[in-house]
Chain A
Amino acid sequence: MLHPLPNERFRCDFERRSSSPAKLLVSSLPLQARPFSVPRVIKKSNHALSTFRAAPPKALEDFEIVQRGLAFRSRIDRVFSGCGQRETPVLLVPRPSITLKVEVVRLLQSALVTLLIGAGFLSQPPQSYRVESEPVADGTELVTFFGRLHNAASGSQDLRSEEIDVPLVAVLRDSLGDGDPANDRLRYVWILTSTQPTPWQRAASALSFGFFRAGSKRHANRVPSPALDLASPSRSVYSNLFSDGLQALEFDPLGRAIRSTTRTYRGNSSDYGKLEVFQALATLDNLDRDPTNVSVLPDSQFREIYSRLSLSTHTFGGLVRERQLSKYYDKRTSQLQQTRGHNWDLLRQRAELNGLIFEPLALASGTPSEALLWIARSDLDARAERHFDGQFLGIADPWTDDRLMHWTGYTQLRYFDSDHQPVPAWTPGARAEELIPLALYNLDYPQVPLLLADFRDSLHPKRREMLSQGAASMVTGVLGLTRFGNPEFFAADAAFAFVRGRHGAAVNRSARLEAYSEAREFLSVDSSLDPALKMELQHQLDHLALNPRENDVSHEANLAREQYAALLRYAESPRGAAKIERDRRKELEAYTHPRGERFFVALGRVFTRGPHVDPEKPDPILHARLDAYRRTAYNIRFLDQILASSPSPDVVWDAGAISRSVSALTSDTIADPKTQRIVSQVCARSTDADLVLTCLRATQAHAATAQPSDASAPIALGQ
């Protein structure tokens, strides 16, 4: 078998003999070539080693020298006519034994590598979350976040074998049919576990002090309502403000019953929406941003989805401008990491101080968001000597609790070495300890770990939550005291909450909801916990399900899959295509029509239902115009944000990317008044010579093509 040498320089030294294809003619290389170790095979052949210096060993080791010297060369002069004069030709033939041996070794090597890769692949736990893109109608895609959830419907206790991929969040991305993110537009976000309430759920959610789950939906075959429209995030702000105003001005004066009922109904509805949003955020938080996922969803789009979802839980979150989203994302994620680190250490210290065992819990792709506290049964023997300080733990003293002495609930056998470090069971000298779980905490609650489950007193967290929500319902719903209607109450409430918060009390309802939602999500996805412990934790966590609208977590996988199927059917249907086309027209109007005109056009649509759209015949001109406007907006946004981020744009960003953006703006057919100003600023503040030259050329080109008075100039982008 012939092996071509890797170096171009050696090619002239080879020739295949016509009479014997297996033989090769090889000349040696120039003697002044740099030496290197000569293959063992050649050394054994007892020839002058200097002749073979600089020959590639991997090729030569397959051959045996059978003839060398000038006598041989005289017969093959034509072969070496192109090579140097100081060469000594040799005749090499492949060594059958060596060749066979090498081939066998290579075969074994490749088999071993394949085996190792396969074993590595199989031993790696599958990703908890992944993202996929599914093309739907007319140049749009459905970007879906999947999670590996335990299939509760199977009834199996083997969590790993019964895991299924469940679509959790879907986002419609209008890419206009190409793969360039510059002209992409993110539209609707669906949280697929969120459902419309049943009539009984609706009725129960209007009951004041009705802190119970009113059944659970088992099937949802309708297209879910989008949780957010990323193209128009401010709409939800105005509708919320309108309903708040309606509540304060119209419903509240109607009496205690109406006020209490309407406030409870709206509160439960809002809480359920937040619960689902927090669950979606937990999904995004734990998504591993590996290259596969990034190729499906670029970082900028991921940040936009995450930030908009998170901001949707704030009163004025929808009004935050697009340029602030990346900053908000950085701020929120770094704050989350800080909070987790702080709570992790605080809980660990408190556990060690009280002689308890601290165990952080995390998904494979994330940092610990939950933690368990255990107590060793053997330590209870010496409990008289123990002292307990329950600050920040929120649980009763385990050393004086007789229930633990006769504990019949869940326990776990763990092994520790002489340094009290956990070790596998087979470790020599390992000491077995029976551990009793005490409590589950969430580490994302600001300032202190939040107690979510107390194994000795299951209703303890529930009582705390009911008291808190009941007090709020009593004050606002029954007594009619609101924070904005009663400044004295507002001041007293704020002061009380501040002091209690400083003492470690969980006074932030939204943060409590977020902690509960994250724990639910964690238990749904995690496959590392012991199944019995996981069931116990889910049972404990179910006590915190106080919202009548909330569905049972065991049904959510089925609900999400059914809703996703319905969504896919809708997106591929003519109705879905027509909706996309109408949205595109509205978007184009936003680029080309002033705000006032758009208002009247929208008003007209209320009565005329708008222009007819044929989904079977998409308008290519509209697509081309939209593509141009989106690219211009993208480049302007890009340069605008870079200018805002640094006095010298080329210091913080690749000058080539800025140049490309400037060139794209200049060659654009869309004349935007911002373009000239932004390019001038980039030119004035750049230090890179090539970039400055590009900007100057762009400025000159713009000046040459600019019209002195253009009455039909389009309005500024981004209005």
Chain B
Amino acid sequence: MTRSAHGILILPFLLALPLTAEVKRVVIIKLDGVPENVLERELARVDPITHKSTLPWIDRAFAQGGTRIDNFYVRAISLSTPSWSLLDTGQHLQIHGNAEFDRYTGHVYDYMNFFPFYLSYARWHKVDMPGVEVLDQQKIPQLIDRFPYPAAYQSFQLYQRGVRWETLKEALPHHFSHGFRELLDEWTIGFELGGKSKSLTIA
């Protein structure tokens, strides 16, 4: 028996073995509207002062320590809601626009409007964004549905399930719990709702 035949026989056994790689946490960063070449360009660009990529953490976590897929794109109309539905579900397109109108029922689907979502959540405890409701009606699961609800933390996004007010309540004081000087600095140069990472240049 040749060596390649041995290999073909062993391969099914190897494939049948359970994978023991343990994933402790999955973090998904979603960037809306960023052309694919921008990320590659910024990753390849080396800051002459720091001698690191201009996206050092993306470079560290994804380019060096993770997996990247080139030429990965969404084959759909270039609108946020349909594109994200493809990315979040991996299924054929069911939502075809950022806003839709059902001429039979007269119902308007405004997928990008967050205010009715928060209002509905507060008044009637409707916990999902309109896009998520449509996908649920079609029985199309999202990637986040692979994980139990208590273990998944979603930030503000188009396909959002519920609002974690408790998380927000705990995060906000932490965000603003600075000393007087720091608050004064931020007030002068402008508050930021983003992360606390700071850029710096020292020559």
Verify that A and B bind, or say they do not. Answer: yes
B202 touches A641 (CB 8 A): yes
A645 touches B188 (CB 8 A): no
Interface residues of A in 307-354 (CB under 8 A from B): 311, 314, 316-317, 319-321, 323-324, 326-331
Task: Compute how far the CA of A645 lies from the CA of B200 in the bound complex, rounded to whole angstroms.
Answer: 7
Task: Compute how far the CA of A329 lies from the CA of B60 in the bound complex, rounded to whole angstroms.
Answer: 26
A327 touches B181 (CB 8 A): no
B51 and chain A: residue at smallest CB distance: A654
B188 touches A317 (CB 8 A): yes
A327 touches B203 (CB 8 A): no
A314 and chain B: residue at smallest CB distance: B188
Interface 0/1 of A476-514, CB less than 8 Å to B: 000000000000000000000000000000000000000
What's the least CB distance linking B178 to chain A, in Å? 12
Task: Compute how far the CA of A316 lies from the CA of B202 in the bound complex, rounded to whole angstroms.
Answer: 24
Interface residues of B in 160-203 (CB under 8 A from A): 181, 184-185, 187-190, 197-203
Q: Which of A250-258, A296-304, A567-575 contacts B (4 or more CB under 8 A)?
A: A296-304
B52 touches A320 (CB 8 A): no
Q: Does B97 have its Cβ within 8 Å of any Cβ on chain A?
A: no
B200 touches A642 (CB 8 A): yes
B192 and chain A: residue at smallest CB distance: A331
B202 touches A324 (CB 8 A): no
Which residues in A have their C-beta under 8 angstroms from that of B188?
311, 314, 316-317, 319-320
**Interface of chain B, main secondary structure:** loop
B200 touches A331 (CB 8 A): no
What's the least CB distance linking A326 to chain B, in Å? 5
A644 touches B50 (CB 8 A): no
Task: Compute how far the CA of A181 lies from the CA of B201 in the bound complex, rounded to whole angstroms.
Answer: 13
Task: Compute how far the CA of A312 lies from the CA of B161 in the bound complex, rounded to whole angstroms.
Answer: 46
Q: Does A637 have its Cβ within 8 Å of any Cβ on chain B?
A: yes
B203 touches A181 (CB 8 A): yes
Which residues in B have their C-beta under 8 angstroms from that of A10?
none
What's the least CB distance linking B172 to chain A, in Å? 21
Which residues in A have their C-beta under 8 angstroms from that of B202?
300, 326, 637-638, 641-642
A646 touches B199 (CB 8 A): no
Residue among B185, B188, B189 facing the most chain A CB atoms (10 A cut-off): B189
Q: Does B101 have its Cβ within 8 Å of any Cβ on chain A?
A: no
Task: Compute how far the CA of A178 lies from the CA of B187 in the bound complex, rounded to whole angstroms.
Answer: 38
Find B52's partner among A324, A327, A654 (CB 8 Å cutoff). Answer: A654
B201 touches A326 (CB 8 A): yes
What's the least CB distance linking B54 to chain A, in Å? 10
Task: Compute how far the CA of A691 lies from the CA of B31 in the bound complex, rounded to whole angstroms.
Answer: 33
Q: Does A410 have its Cβ within 8 Å of any Cβ on chain B?
A: no
Which residues in B have their C-beta under 8 angstroms from that of A299?
49, 201, 203
A644 touches B198 (CB 8 A): yes
Task: Compute how far the CA of A327 lies from the CA of B188 in the bound complex, rounded to whole angstroms.
Answer: 12
Q: Does A651 have its Cβ within 8 Å of any Cβ on chain B?
A: yes
What's the least CB distance linking A325 to chain B, in Å? 9
Task: Compute how far the CA of A637 lies from the CA of B202 in the bound complex, rounded to whole angstroms.
Answer: 9
Which residues in A have their C-beta under 8 angstroms from that of B51?
653-654, 656-657
Task: Compute how far the CA of A317 lies from the CA of B201 in the bound complex, rounded to whole angstroms.
Answer: 20
Find A330's partner among B56, B184, B185, B199 (CB 8 Å cutoff). Answer: B199
B52 touches A300 (CB 8 A): no
Q: Does B62 have its Cβ within 8 Å of any Cβ on chain A?
A: no
Q: With A301-B203, A331-B189, A652-B57 given, is the CB distance from A319 to B198 under 8 Å?
A: no
Task: Compute how far the CA of A653 lies from the CA of B57 in the bound complex, rounded to whole angstroms.
Answer: 11
Task: Compute how far the CA of A326 lies from the CA of B199 in the bound complex, rounded to whole angstroms.
Answer: 7
B56 touches A331 (CB 8 A): no
Residue among A301, A330, A652, A656 facing the most chain B CB atoms (10 A cut-off): A652
A639 and chain B: residue at smallest CB distance: B202
Task: Compute how far the CA of A657 lies from the CA of B51 in the bound complex, rounded to whole angstroms.
Answer: 10
Which residues in A have their C-beta under 8 angstroms from that of B201?
299-300, 303, 326, 329
Which residues in A have their C-beta under 8 angstroms from that of B184?
316, 319-320
Task: Compute how far the CA of A323 lies from the CA of B182 in the bound complex, rounded to whole angstroms.
Answer: 11
B198 and chain A: residue at smallest CB distance: A645
Task: Compute how far the CA of A323 lies from the CA of B198 in the bound complex, rounded to whole angstroms.
Answer: 10
Task: Compute how far the CA of A301 lies from the CA of B190 in the bound complex, rounded to whole angstroms.
Answer: 22
Interface residues of A in 609-638 (CB under 8 A from B): 637-638
A327 touches B50 (CB 8 A): no
Q: With A646-B56, A651-B57 given, is the CB distance from A328 to B197 under 8 Å?
A: no
Task: Compute how far the CA of A403 lies from the CA of B103 in the bound complex, rounded to whole angstroms.
Answer: 52
B203 touches A300 (CB 8 A): yes
What's the least CB distance linking A229 to chain B, in Å? 18
A298 touches B203 (CB 8 A): yes
Q: With A181-B203, A327-B199, A637-B202 given, is the CB distance from A646 to B57 under 8 Å?
A: yes
Task: Compute how far the CA of A300 lies from the CA of B201 in the bound complex, rounded to whole angstroms.
Answer: 6
B185 touches A652 (CB 8 A): no
What's the least CB distance linking B51 to chain A, in Å? 4
Find A326's partner among B60, B181, B200 (CB 8 Å cutoff). Answer: B200
Task: Compute how far the CA of A314 lies from the CA of B185 in the bound complex, rounded to whole angstroms.
Answer: 11
A selection of 23 A-B contacts at a CB cut-off of 8 Å is A298-B203, A300-B201, A300-B202, A303-B201, A316-B187, A319-B181, A319-B188, A321-B185, A323-B198, A326-B201, A327-B198, A327-B200, A637-B202, A645-B197, A645-B198, A645-B199, A646-B57, A651-B52, A652-B57, A653-B51, A653-B52, A654-B50, A657-B51
Given contacts A642-B200, A651-B57, A652-B52, 17 further A-B contacts (CB under 8 A): A181-B203, A311-B189, A316-B184, A320-B188, A324-B189, A327-B198, A327-B199, A642-B202, A645-B198, A645-B200, A646-B57, A651-B60, A652-B57, A653-B52, A654-B50, A654-B52, A656-B51
Nearest 5 CB-CB pairs, A to B? A298-B203, A654-B51, A300-B203, A328-B189, A652-B56
